[in-house]
Structure formats: C-alpha cells, structure tokens
Amino acid sequence: MILLLALIPIEAGSRDGLAIWDSRCEECHGDPVIFAGKYLWDIEGRLQGRHHVENLALFMRNHYTPDHEIETINNMLLTHANSPLRFKDECGGCHGDAKEFVEKSIWVRGSGITGLQTGMDISEYLLTHQELQPEDVAFYQKLFARIAGKPLP
C-alpha cells in the first residue's frame, strides 16, 4: 500500500485518500482498512456498501464527502474492499470465474444459498469443502449473494 501510494503521482494541492479519510471520516469509522474489510465490496470495480449497493457514490456525495474528493476516497476504499479476487486465488483453479460459477451453480433465495449441483445449502456444504473455516464460509456466502445481486442483510 505504501509502495503503491508512492508510485501514484499526487497532484500538488490534492490530498490522497488516506489523508482525506483521516480528516473527514476517521472519527466515526476508525481505521479505513478495517472498515472497508468489514463492510465494503469491490464488485467488478464498483464499490458497494452493506446497505448501499447500487448507489454508494450517491450516498457518499451526501455524506461528508465533497464532490472533488469522491473519486479519490472511492479508489482508496476499493483497494481495501472485499472482492472476487479471493475466489480467483482460492477456488478459481477448479471453478473458474466467480461470476460464471455463481450463474451456473448458485441459487440465492430468501432464506439461504443453495448449490445447484449438490442440492445442499452452501453454509453446510462449504464447511466440508477445501478445509474452509466458518469465517471463510461467511465470506463466500456474502460474496456469492453480492455477485448474484441479492446481498445478504
């Protein structure tokens, strides 16, 4: 992260995302890395919140973020948000692309998430798969629901 920031030329007079965060957001949200890891998702390059899925940028515009700093803070949060890249690393070798896998194999319904091939609720199935731990299972449930466009509450 430090290395990355050092490589991005910062226009004179404009602040980087962490500096903006420290002055405008930190008092309520604490550490941006922890905040983004807990609540935010990078789904195909777009930042999604826990509640604000389609319109997070609009929400931020009305939420302590001046227009000229939206893009910078959005990009900073994106680098720390959860993303399907983890699926690519851990699962992609067998299952391919996350979006295609969800379209083909995952059914998100009101009360749970079912694997179409196994017919099992994935909250049970994944505990027996690839030595996944409960927190990993929670992560993948949330990820699949996001990709399916039906985020879990």
Within 10 Å of residue 44's Cβ, how many Cβ atoms?
10
Where does this chain touch ligand HEC (CB under 6 A) — which range of 6-14, 24-32, 145-153? 24-32
Interface stretch with ligand HEC, choices 7-15, 88-96, 145-153 (CB under 6 A) = 88-96
Tokens coding 56: 């997070």
Q: Which is nearer to ligand HEC, 79 or 125 (CB)?
A: 125
Per rule CB under 6 A, is residue 49 in the interface with ligand HEC? Answer: yes
Least distance (Å) from ligand HEC to the CB of residue 10?
18
Integer Cα distance of 14 and 76 in angstroms: 14
The terminus-to-terminus CA distance of the chain in angstroms comes to 30
CA distance 130 to 14: 46
- In a 10 Å sphere around its CB, with 0-12 CB exposed, 13-18 middle and 19+ buried, how is residue 13 labelled? exposed
CB of 114 to ligand HEC, least distance (A): 7
Site string for ligand HEC, 103-132 (x = CB under 6 A): --x---------xxxx---x--xx--xx-x
Residue with tokens 């941006």: 32
- Which residues are near ligand HEC by CB under 6 A? 24-25, 27-29, 39, 49-52, 59-60, 63-65, 73, 90-91, 93-95, 105, 115-118, 122, 125-126, 129-130, 132, 140
